[in-house]
Structure 1
């Protein structure tokens, strides 16, 4: 299974508040990739300090959408997470056939995933294109730890040598 991780592009404390946090993973649509999307999402949300109740709901949403992408898209899929303020955006994109193919299963076993997603999400949107589909979900995640503590140390005092010593002497 090949995976691509796109790390948070806003690694500095100053830019995190304005840009937000983003992470994505791309996988081949296989049954085992659903577990990988859950692990990825749980790890990212924990790193971002999303409260566990909201994190568990978001991981369930990712799992349901990734399962649909595997079953119906049957092609590569991408899971992208973005946290801006107290809003988490989840995008699951599959690049398969835009027309879902029926999947045989036991009665009552399938068909509830999108209902679960709609119940947990604040907003859902599906975009169907010729290249596949993207489902976008937003979830309010009040209680995210936004503060980032960085320890700043003063540089150690070192004796000046060479050109720096000459420059200091010239300015004195």
Structure 2
């Protein structure tokens, strides 16, 4: 998660960022620029390459199982880990994340673009290759800035460049 102070915005008519990333573990990676939202799903959520990165090998309420840790490796430090490498743990079908939050729990898997000005409830997807390409570039830029691992780009079919 990244944040900025809102104090510079008080009394100003400007924004602090070009867009924001959001999403659901193992599902779509989403981006908004305030006007549009773009929800990009992996082509096949159940067979994607998916990892959890952590400095502490526990799920919220329980430790990782030996079966999950068997495939773990050390990954390069991320900008927010202050130089410490992180554990890269593959999500397997027996991982709690698989069915609770990940590919096994997904109800949706269709990439979509919405115009928030005309459709604030995001009820009718928009078809605009030009806007989709612009939102894909924004997504890629924000993912790079956020230290997203290479496979995060690959799983949704975006070149990391």
Shorter-chain TM range is under 0.3
Decide which structure has greater helix share: 1
TM-score, normalised to structure 2, is: 0.25
TM-score, normalised to structure 1, is: 0.24
Tell which has more relative contact order, 1 or 2 (C-alpha 8 A, sep 6+): 2
Larger radius of gyration: 1
